[in-house]
Structure 1
Amino acid sequence: MTTPDHRLDRATAQRVSLDLVRLVKLLKAVRQHAPRLHPAVDTMAYPVLFNLAHEERRVSALAECVHSDISTTSRQVSSLVGHGLLEKVSDPEDGRAQVVRLSPAGHDLLARIQEQRNAWFEQLLEGWTAQEASDFADHLERFTAALERSHLSSPTSTTSTTEH
């Protein structure tokens, strides 16, 4: 008895590659034209907010979570603190250091962003069956995990979690 061949063929790999590049470009274009729910918050700072939703972090750890350099993340944090969306507090594990957390206004903004994003994805998936959407979510999670593992095993990688 022979076992099925589970290797990916080159044509399918190319389809995935082309469509993912197209998807990334479309998402960047959409992000640039997305309505701002807070006039001073650029959509590029959204990953910072999402990664602080359930856990306060040091800026260095936050930079790893959003796959960015510390200086960029620090600038975003400073801006968000200045607009009252984040708070800097003493690190409970090391009082000499600081951690960043969402302020009440930051939690409110994040909830509005999530609500808007969820409504948009519901529109995009209109016409899909519940099973198709669930299968897509499963495959997307699996692909993202594989990409993250590949990124983490790369010799130049210093990041550890996904961006939202």
Structure 2
Amino acid sequence: MRCREGVGGAVLERLERELMLLSRHQVMARRERDSQRLDRSAYLLLSRIDAQGPMSIGQLAEAFGLDTSTVNRQTAALLRCGLAERVADPEGGMARKLRITDEGGRRLAADREVNCSCLARVVADWSPEELRELEDVLVRLNRSAEALEGRHWPRAEDDAGQAR
């Protein structure tokens, strides 16, 4: 089955294949992890809370476009493992929010370090210009997807007024 007919169709098919392979490589790298590595859902949830601050289950469900029951199960696992804790809404709202614990922050930072180390090996022979170009294109791709979904992922550079 073809993605789309015409000149762009072949390019879209190759792009889709490369994105699928990139996803596969990330999954394979996570399989080769030790027992201390976070699973994918924990990594994503903790990353979002880290980027945005304490969030309710409803806010997380909206941010990821998931059912609240799914997010409830995933956050229950974070709570059981001591990676997150329930806190009163810092802004005075009624809903309890989830905040990363010190252990959750330590594990998230350790996973990020492993991910960056693996990525550094992959792009070891790339120039700084090539790395910057890849970053720019991936940011643009992700921002376009976020715009279509209506779900923005907060970025530190947005807060600093340096968004590209």
Q: Shorter-chain TM-score: which interval? A: 0.7 to 0.9
The 5-angstrom pairing of residues 25-36 of structure 1 reads 25-31=24-30, 33-36=31-34
Q: Which amino acid aligns with 2:152?
A: T
Q: Distance in 1 between matches of 2:66 and 2:27?
A: 16
Q: Distance in 1 between matches of 2:93 and 2:11?
A: 53
Unaligned stretches of 5+ residues in structure 1: 1-7, 153-159
How far 1:111 moved relative to its partner? 1.0
Q: Which is further off, 17-26 or 94-103?
A: 17-26
Higher RCO structure, 1 or 2 (CA under 8 Å, sep 6+): 1
TM-score by length of 1: 0.78
Q: Bigger radius of gyration, 1 or 2?
A: 1
Per the alignment, residue 157 of structure 1 pairs with: none
Cα separation, partners in 2 of 1:37 and 1:102, compared to 1, 3 Å: farther
CA-atom RMSD, angstroms? 2.4
How far 1:138 moved relative to its partner? 0.4
Per the alignment, residue 48 of structure 1 pairs with: 45
Kindly, what percent of the aligned residue pairs are identical?
26
- 8 Å contact 2:143–2:152 — kept in the other structure? no
Per the alignment, residue 80 of structure 1 pairs with: 78
TM-score by length of 2: 0.78
Cα separation, partners in 2 of 1:9 and 1:136, compared to 1, 3 Å: same
Per the alignment, residue 20 of structure 1 pairs with: 19
How far 1:139 moved relative to its partner? 0.5
3-state SS of the aligned residue for 2:136? Answer: helix
Q: Which amino acid aligns with 2:18?
A: D
Larger % of strand: which? 1
How far 1:52 moved relative to its partner? 1.2
Q: Distance in 2 between matches of 1:89 and 1:74?
A: 15
The 5-angstrom pairing of residues 1-164 of structure 1 reads 9-31=8-30, 33-36=31-34, 38=36, 41-54=38-51, 55-152=53-150, 160-162=151-153
- 8 Å contact 2:82–2:104 — kept in the other structure? yes
- How many aligned residue pairs are there? 148
Unaligned stretches of 5+ residues in structure 2: 1-6, 156-164
